[in-house]
Structure 1
Amino acid sequence: MHYYPKVIRMALIHDFGEIYAGDFTPHDEIEVNQKYQLERQSILQVLSKLNGGSEWIALWEEYEQGETIEAQFVRQLDQLEMILQASVYEHQELANLSEFFASANQKFTAPQLKAIFETLEDLRDNWNSR
């Protein structure tokens, strides 16, 4: 497990909690702790029987807490992936997601990811000005 950088391992498993719990959106009315508990049960169900499963569970917990540099970076990557998908939806004229972009803008602290976000914003401006 240690052959791959921590960020890659964390990015690979960060959504494993959704395997049995499902993928909750901001529109779902679920308390943060309830969401965490459902996803944690899912993680335990998937990983607890594996060799080294406790290390993966600990890595998922680290991501969920979001306190380490690695966890914060992966959280921003996850946000960027959602922005990319939102860009596709807007380009296909399926939705206007301006509010989503405005709220996401404040979540990027990693300079590389902020630069990608700003490029996507420029592309949006070009698409919307046509």
Structure 2
Amino acid sequence: MELEKREVLNLVSFFHTVCNLKRVKRSGWIFKSKIESPESIADHSYSMCVMAMVLAEILNLDTEYIMKMVNLHDVAESLVGDFMPDRISVERKQKREDEAMKKIISKLPRELRKNYLDIWNDYNDNITVNARFVHNLDKLEMALQAKEYESDGYSKESLQIFLKSATDYISNGSFQLVNEILQTINDDSNRI
């Protein structure tokens, strides 16, 4: 794919926007557990991407598609920030993220825009096996991070809300391996 100078400039703009995810902190850790230096959205996405790479291969899922979905799932937050579910309505959050994502994706070459937007919409619709898997990984990574904070000395009680949320979501899913990993995180964190 040949790119014109303007398209290269747009790519640089896209990369700058996405790099902002390194500075956007995950707000739930701050407001619910008083974590002093919480992970960034980029930290979270990277951990999810490694989980996706390994687990999608083990489960014979579409690893490349899933990794793209993981990389795209929180990109809109580079412009709108990380909202707590109880601080903004689901509809309003989705509208803001839709607008942000369209703006961000518009910086990509035309050949990529529709594909990436379709993947992001697939994630948000949460109907396909791939989307459900990524949503499970989102919760699994959150549980793992909660255990990391617990091992750093943060209050186990303040972190239970995250572990319960992950357990409630994942135990209702269809990915037995993800459920087994979550149970191991919950049961054996002192031995890992």
The two structures have a TM-score, normalised by structure 2, of 0.59
Note if contact 2:142-2:166 (Cα within 8 Å) is conserved in structure 1.
no
For the pair 1:60 / 2:120, whether they are aligned, the reply is yes
SS in 1 for 2:154: coil
- Once the two structures are overlaid, the 10-residue window that deviates more, 46-55 or 74-83, is 46-55
For the residues of structure 2 that align with 1:113 and 1:25, how far apart are their CA atoms? 24
1:19 to partner: Cα distance: 0.9
For the pair 1:118 / 2:183, whether they are aligned, the reply is yes
1:91 to partner: Cα distance: 1.3
SS in 1 for 2:181: helix
Superposed CA offset, 1:82-130 (max 9, x none): 1111111111121322232123212112111111101111124x58xxx
Which residue does 1:14 correspond to in 2?
73
Note if contact 1:48-1:54 (Cα within 8 Å) is conserved in structure 2.
no
Q: Which of residues 142, 162, 165 in structure 2 aligns to 1:103?
A: 165
Unaligned runs of 5+ in 1: none
Q: Which of residues 130, 134, 141 in structure 2 aligns to 1:81?
A: 141
The two structures have a TM-score, normalised by structure 1, of 0.85
Note if contact 1:21-1:38 (Cα within 8 Å) is conserved in structure 2.
yes
Aligned residues: CA RMSD: 1.9
For the residues of structure 2 that align with 1:77 and 1:56, how far apart are their CA atoms? 19
For the residues of structure 2 that align with 1:17 and 1:102, how far apart are their CA atoms? 26
Instruction: Report the count of equivalent residues.
Output: 123
Superposed CA offset, 1:41-88 (max 9, x none): 111111123121121011101101111110000011111111111111
Q: Which of residues 34, 41, 46 in structure 1 aligns to 2:92?
A: 34
Runs of 4 or more consecutive aligned structure 1 residues displaced over 4 Å after TM superposition? none
